[in-house]
Amino acid sequence: MTSAKPVSEFSLFGRDLFGDPVKPRAAAGPLSQAFTLPPFSVLDARSGPWQERKRAWLALGIKGEEGRKASGANAYGDLSENPREAASTKKIAAVGDGATVFDPVICELAYQWFAPPRGLIIDPFAGGSVRGVVAACLGRKYWGSELRAEQVEANREQAAQLCPELPPQYVCGDSMETLASAPDADLIFSCPPYGDLETYSDDPRDLSGMEWHTFAAAYKTIIHRACKRLKNDRFACFVVGDFRDHRGFYRDFVSETIRGFRESGCELYNDAVLVTAVGSASMRVTKQFEAGRKFCKTHQNVLVFCKGDWRRATEALG
């Protein structure tokens, strides 16, 4: 297993015989050279350059699924008749044990585009190890709050192996409480639980086990408390996707997220569509569409907010 190196040495694709960073084969064009991938409002996770970067990140030894096992009616299985979306709707990507893991490339882009070098990132829904490990590899400090002790332990074990020089800080507890003692942040970045689409524990404080109205209130409270830790003239970024209620109608989770940030003093600044893998949707779409005219969802929303002046926030990125 390859250990992550400090930001001054870290090169995702390694180095050549002369010590220079190796460039990805699929990267081409001035936009990719300047910004890693083109900063368009449609981000294509199916593209060759994206997939090449994703493979390189996973080759470091990141195992975001460790410590994560979703349970309940919304875990894996045949969800084609469930009003809620099936596996392809769940956060970014899927793994075989029923939990989902975060795509390291969208994480890499968010940090490079919206977090200052050596800045500190707050993640109120830390979940698996991916966001913390990528932050450390890119020379950013990371503070993440996670409710489940077994997940925190799994994340810490990976961090000790992959990024011992700048280990992410994982705090075990409810974000409702832990954010009060969180450090001041240069970026808020997270992917929150999608209601009860995946159930992670039977802890009554776990948002994934709450009824929708309780979930929405707690969710926006956590956003508010995270935004209080965000420095002025800084960005925040959430990766979210809508999901259906028990009647088959969308919850409008994206709009709830935008309202939560606006009520916390952060205005919507960018909205990108993240095109994700089709996966099993090609097998489910016929039955799902014929039975109820439901589309199979193969995208997420990447919402970027700004607290304060976007010009100063941009200047702070160096």
Residue 6 confidence (pLDDT) = 44
d(CA 1, CA 9): 17
pLDDT, tens digit, 9 for 90 and up, residues 252-274? 999 999 999 999 999 999 999 99
Say what the pTM is.
Answer: 0.86
Percentage of the chain modeled with pLDDT above 70: 82
Q: Are 167 and 160 a contacting pair, CB within 8 Å?
A: yes
* Residues in contact with 117: Cβ distance below 8 Å, sequence separation at least 6, in sequence order: 7, 139, 140, 318
Cα atoms found within 13 Å of the Cα of residue 240, Cβ hemisphere only: 24
Strand partners, 293: none
pLDDT 10s digits, 100-136: 679 999 999 999 999 999 999 999 999 899 999 999 9
Higher pLDDT, 200 or 171: 171
- Given a cut of 90, whether residue 146 has pLDDT beyond it is yes
Please report the pLDDT score of residue 194 as a whole number: 84
Q: Give the pLDDT mean for 222-236.
A: 98
**Distance, C-alpha 186 to centroid of its chain:** 16
Q: Tens digits of per-residue pLDDT, 61-71?
A: 998 777 766 44
* Confidence band for 201, pLDDT divided at 50, 70 and 90: confident
| Residue 274, phi then psi, degrees to nearest 5 | -100, 110
Token code pair at residue 261: 């940030």
pLDDT in the model for residue 208: 78
pLDDT at residue 195, as a whole number: 75
Angle at 277 between CA 273 and CA 280, to 5 degrees: 130
Sequence-distant (6+) residues with CB within 8 A of 214 are: none
In contact, 122 and 185? CB cutoff 8 Å: yes
Q: What is the mean pLDDT of the chain?
A: 85
Average pLDDT of the segment spanning 297-304: 95
User: What is the pLDDT at residue 83?
Assistant: 35
Q: What pLDDT is stored for residue 105 in this prediction?
A: 97
Report d(CA 242, CA 90) in Å as an integer: 10
Residues 6+ apart with CB under 8 A from 192: 124, 125, 207, 219, 238, 240, 257
Q: What share of the chain is helix, strand, coil (3-state, %, to 5)?
A: 35, 20, 45
DSSP 8-state secondary structure symbol assigned to residue 3? P
Give the whole-angstrom CA distance, residue 265 versus residue 259: 10
Residue 207: the pLDDT is 79
Residue with the bigger pLDDT between 296 and 99: it is 296
Pick the range with the lowest mean pLDDT from 30-34, 38-42, 133-137: 30-34
Q: Which has the higher per-residue pLDDT, 2 or 148?
A: 148
For residue 17, pLDDT over 70 is answered with no
Query: Which residues share a beta bridge with 94?
Result: 100
